[in-house]
A and B are shown apart, each in its own frame.
Chain A
Amino acid sequence: MKSGSRWYRFGIQVAAVVLALVFTSIILLIAKAQPLEAYKNILVGSFSSIEAITNVIVVWIPLLLASAGALVTFTAGLWNIGIEGQITLGAISTTLVLRLLQHSDVSPAIIIFLAVLSGFIGGALWAALAGALKTYGGVNEIFGGLGLNFVATAMTIWLIFGPWKRPGIGSMSGTEPFANTLWLPTIPGLRLSWWSLLIGILALVLVYVLLSNTHFGLKLKAVGKNRKAASVFGIPTSNFMMSAFLICGGLAGLAGALQVLAVYHRLIPSISSGYGYLGLMVGMLINYQAIWAAPVAFFFAALNFGSIQLPIVMKLDSSLSGVLQGALVLFVLMMDGVRKRFEKKA
């Protein structure tokens, strides 16, 4: 029964993916484009060379962090839609430390370490704000998070155009790039930094262990499934919800820190790059199972990166990857609903 149902579930998932592809293909056909060619281009674009694959991994890392964070808040029954803003605040905090210390005598390695740490803290504090609004102010975390996302963007813009503007320049394109010494070292000739990869994978592993094997994780799950009963069980639910926010925010903040240190080397307006939203989608798609976060996030990253080929080769808008990702999540959820109905009858 067990293994049978596992295969059956797997089949259902495959069906969902196929449906999502069909759906996206229809949209492509409406846009008068060849779906197969589009998919082929995405694939080729993401996997054809070592550069391409490492570029996908560069996208994968922040996505991993965001997904891992999303998993923690999902487990606590929270929709932390504010991840996007938490990434941004992580990036801002990192930039702050870099700016403060860049001309000092402190060794670059220490500056980078402090900057990463500061990113973590910045993201966590920003999440704490959403958490406080939720647990003490009764503001739904979705609305609180969305609001804080806007505030975070506004803050970035203000910093870039105001206090952190490039000398003599007033442009939204970003702050002055940091000196090469303050970049996270990358593999020669590639954009990927081992350090980023290490942080990303470590974060996911930690979250996996935390959720599946610790009392903290189980309590968090209890809070997520039934807050009232959890409190009767003696679990301080508010504390746990806050902790979930803090962890998620911290991980998001790390993503922001890496965006600054390893990708853009400066602060730009959309430093979060939509990874927060994408991370939530990954979380939903894998239905709380941390094990799947890595491959699904990788798939999403490949879609994101590979879709750059569409405007170059086919003159298609690359937001198609967003459509495909959205369709995937929707269809998987839908098929899950269908399966539940079906199982009830069977």
Chain B
Amino acid sequence: MKKNVIWRTIVVFMLASMLVSACAPAATPAPTAEPAKPAEPTKAAEPAAAEPTKAPEPTKAEAAAPTAAGEFTFGIVMVGPYNDHGWSEASYLAGQYVEKMVPGTKMIYIDKVNSADRPGTTGDQLAEELVSKGAKLIVFNSDDFKDASVEFKKNNPTIPVLHISGDLAWKDGKNYKEMEGYSNLMSQMEYGEMIGGCAAALTTQTGKIGYVGPLINDETRRFANATYLGAKHCWETYAKKDPKDLKMKVTWIGFWFNIPGVTADPSTVSDDFLNSGHDVLISALDTMEALVQTKKAVDGGKKAWAVAYDYKDACNEAPDVCLGVRYFNWGPGYVKAVKAVMDGSFKSYWEWAAPDWKDINNPDTSAMGFNKGKGLSEENAKNLDAFIGELAGGLNLWTGPIKWQDGTDFLKDGEKATDQQIWYQPQLLEGIEGLSVAP
């Protein structure tokens, strides 16, 4: 009898902890995010931070306040935690940007929308929750919501949808689907990738770059390939080295961020890179394991650097090893969508938003940017700027000859890629080590 009671108690604890942990495995990014918070106020005083940004204030009171009459509420469905210092936080910042730029608007959001963090729910269902809280526009912030956004649109035809990073609204795309009030927005991050690749190639001493990739699809292959093109260009043009000596390897973890037990562990992936002679890591994840692990390695005596992703202040996590961050600036795109919905002109469109080549870091005009990090030497920074200048001047790295990984032609000599060719990339490029498709 006694024994039974003890068993029961043990089992309850086990079950409870399983449940609580099952509900929040992505609490993992949260802890890394939390300690970084206090750094934010000081950051403003730090000259290294390129852009004086508003710290993302926890907006508890504001969010809980009921929607006032006449206010326009838009909802964001985020795949990761709103404060992940990565992909989802970039969306969160954009939401705040909208609130600032378009008076009378209010953001509501639900974050961590993935089956591991919110078991038993679906993206479209949670979007409906936002609608029931007054949202008049739903932004799905991840490629992962492609199906959910369609399902949502089907069941809620009157609510405008902005799906980030998809192609369903692209009339000339492969997957066009006619849906009224369903739009896509994606930044031309290829350029950011090229710049990041360039910074990596300029800095690497071993000639080995490790690319910590998320899952495998057209988009992620596109970005990995762009990185490689940027790296190769700078390796030849600025470092004046033989392209044969440049090695780039991609390892995919299986999702946009770490889901313990489900994806490969990005920390382990990073460590493996660092331990096998790769001295620059490029993160393509929503979270910052690559940067963190690099810093650990450097603290342990290694010479290594990392390129961060997604969120403009990501370098703050480990400034000294950070070569820079290519980041999304969704603000202008969001503002455009919100304004359109507000004045009733929201239509189905597909926007592949370009950087503002006059100043790629202009928060009001550029869809993406690159924030140099402290880890980038002065000389390399100069070369990087030169490269950005080249791009601004019209340099097109998607110019043949370029071969696929399997040796077949992507672009013949002198051939320039079409938008479709850039968007839909079936393989990694020749010269990149790693899986082009899932095994």
Binding site for B on A (CB under 8 A): 37, 45, 48-49, 51-52, 55, 59, 62, 79, 81, 84, 142, 150, 153, 157, 161-162, 165, 168-174, 177, 189, 191, 263-264, 266, 268-275, 277-278, 280-281, 284, 304-305, 308-309, 311-315, 317-319, 321-323, 325-327, 329-330, 333, 337
Given A173-B144, A312-B130, list of 15 further CB < 8 A pairs? A48-B132, A81-B15, A150-B261, A162-B439, A165-B438, A172-B255, A172-B259, A173-B255, A273-B115, A278-B19, A311-B110, A314-B60, A315-B63, A315-B64, A326-B15
Least CB distance from A250 to B in Å reads: 21
Which chain B residues lie closer than 8 Å to A304 at the CB level?
120
Considering only CB atoms, which chain B residue lies closest to A263 in the complex? B122
Interface-located stretch among B212-220, B224-232, B381-389: B212-220
Which chain A residues lie closer than 8 Å to B17 at the CB level?
326
- Is the pair A170, B438 in contact by a Cβ cutoff of 8 Å? yes
Least CB distance from B386 to A in Å reads: 36
- Is the pair A325, B16 in contact by a Cβ cutoff of 8 Å? yes
Q: How far is the CA of A284 from the CA of B121 in the complex (A)?
A: 25
Q: When A and B form their complex, which 9 residue pairs have the shortest distance between CB atoms, in order from nearest?
A: A326-B16, A170-B438, A170-B216, A171-B215, A273-B119, A319-B23, A273-B120, A322-B19, A172-B255
- Is the pair B19, A169 in contact by a Cβ cutoff of 8 Å? no
Which chain A residues lie closer than 8 Å to B111 at the CB level?
311
**A–B complex contacts, Cβ < 8 Å, 13 sampled:** A153-B261, A165-B437, A169-B215, A170-B437, A171-B215, A172-B255, A173-B115, A191-B125, A270-B262, A273-B119, A281-B15, A322-B20, A337-B5
Which chain A residues lie closer than 8 Å to B259 at the CB level?
172, 269
Contact of A313 among B24, B63, B218 (CB under 8 A): B63
Which chain A residues lie closer than 8 Å to B215 at the CB level?
169-173
> B49 interface residue, CB < 8 Å from A?
no
Least CB distance from B58 to A in Å reads: 7
- Is the pair A173, B114 in contact by a Cβ cutoff of 8 Å? yes
Least CB distance from A325 to B in Å reads: 7
> B263 interface residue, CB < 8 Å from A?
yes
- Is the pair A329, B18 in contact by a Cβ cutoff of 8 Å? no
> B391 interface residue, CB < 8 Å from A?
no
- Is the pair B12, A284 in contact by a Cβ cutoff of 8 Å? yes
Least CB distance from B421 to A in Å reads: 15
- Is the pair B118, A308 in contact by a Cβ cutoff of 8 Å? yes
> B155 interface residue, CB < 8 Å from A?
yes
Instruction: Encode B97-115 as 1/0 by CB contact (under 8 A) with A.
Output: 0000000000011111011
B: interface residue count bin: 35 or more
Binding site for A on B (CB under 8 A): 5, 7-9, 11-20, 22-24, 27, 58-60, 63-64, 108-112, 114-116, 118-122, 125-126, 128-130, 132-133, 144, 147, 155, 214-218, 252, 254-255, 259, 261-263, 426, 435, 437-439
- Is the pair B262, A157 in contact by a Cβ cutoff of 8 Å? yes
Contact of A189 among B9, B11, B155 (CB under 8 A): B155
A-B contact count (CB 8 A): 178
Least CB distance from A60 to B in Å reads: 11
- Is the pair B9, A315 in contact by a Cβ cutoff of 8 Å? no
Q: How far is the CA of A270 from the CA of B24 in the complex (A)?
A: 12
- Is the pair B118, A318 in contact by a Cβ cutoff of 8 Å? yes
- Is the pair B63, A171 in contact by a Cβ cutoff of 8 Å? no
Least CB distance from A334 to B in Å reads: 9
Q: How far is the CA of A275 from the CA of B15 in the complex (A)?
A: 11
Which chain B residues lie closer than 8 Å to A272 at the CB level?
119
- Is the pair B9, A330 in contact by a Cβ cutoff of 8 Å? yes
Least CB distance from A157 to B in Å reads: 6
- Is the pair A270, B22 in contact by a Cβ cutoff of 8 Å? yes
- Is the pair A329, B216 in contact by a Cβ cutoff of 8 Å? no
Which chain A residues lie closer than 8 Å to B218 at the CB level?
168
Q: How far is the CA of A272 from the CA of B435 in the complex (A)?
A: 29
- Is the pair A274, B23 in contact by a Cβ cutoff of 8 Å? yes
- Is the pair B216, A281 in contact by a Cβ cutoff of 8 Å? no
Which chain B residues lie closer than 8 Å to A263 at the CB level?
120, 122
- Is the pair A280, B15 in contact by a Cβ cutoff of 8 Å? yes
- Is the pair A79, B7 in contact by a Cβ cutoff of 8 Å? yes
Which chain A residues lie closer than 8 Å to B125 at the CB level?
55, 191
- Is the pair A312, B11 in contact by a Cβ cutoff of 8 Å? no
Q: How far is the CA of A51 from the CA of B131 in the complex (A)?
A: 12
Which chain A residues lie closer than 8 Å to B216 at the CB level?
168-171
- Is the pair B255, A171 in contact by a Cβ cutoff of 8 Å? yes
Q: How far is the CA of A272 from the CA of B116 in the complex (A)?
A: 10
**Also in contact, A177 and B9, with CB within 8 A (given A170-B217, A270-B115, A274-B18):** no
Contact of B20 among A172, A266, A313, A323 (CB under 8 A): A323
- Is the pair B23, A161 in contact by a Cβ cutoff of 8 Å? no
Considering only CB atoms, which chain B residue lies closest to A173 in the complex? B144
Which chain A residues lie closer than 8 Å to B155 at the CB level?
189
Q: Which of B23, B24, B252 has the most CB of A within 10 A?
A: B23
- Is the pair B120, A59 in contact by a Cβ cutoff of 8 Å? yes
- Is the pair A271, B129 in contact by a Cβ cutoff of 8 Å? no
Q: How far is the CA of A168 from the CA of B437 in the complex (A)?
A: 6
Least CB distance from B89 to A in Å reads: 14
Q: Which of A49, A171, A191 has the most CB of B within 10 A?
A: A171
**Also in contact, A277 and B15, with CB within 8 A (given A51-B128, A177-B147, A312-B110):** yes
- Is the pair B20, A174 in contact by a Cβ cutoff of 8 Å? no
Which chain B residues lie closer than 8 Å to A309 at the CB level?
129
Which chain A residues lie closer than 8 Å to B12 at the CB level?
281, 284, 326, 329-330, 333
Q: Which of B11, B24, B435 has the most CB of A within 10 A?
A: B11
Least CB distance from A48 to B in Å reads: 8
Contact of A161 among B59, B63, B438 (CB under 8 A): B438
Q: How far is the CA of A173 from the CA of B143 in the complex (A)?
A: 10
- Is the pair A174, B115 in contact by a Cβ cutoff of 8 Å? yes
Q: How far is the CA of A153 from the CA of B9 in the complex (A)?
A: 26
Considering only CB atoms, which chain B residue lies closest to A84 in the complex? B18
Q: Which of B19, B216, B261, B437 has the most CB of A within 10 A?
A: B19
Least CB distance from A280 to B in Å reads: 6
**Also in contact, A308 and B20, with CB within 8 A (given A162-B438, A326-B15):** no
- Is the pair A49, B120 in contact by a Cβ cutoff of 8 Å? no
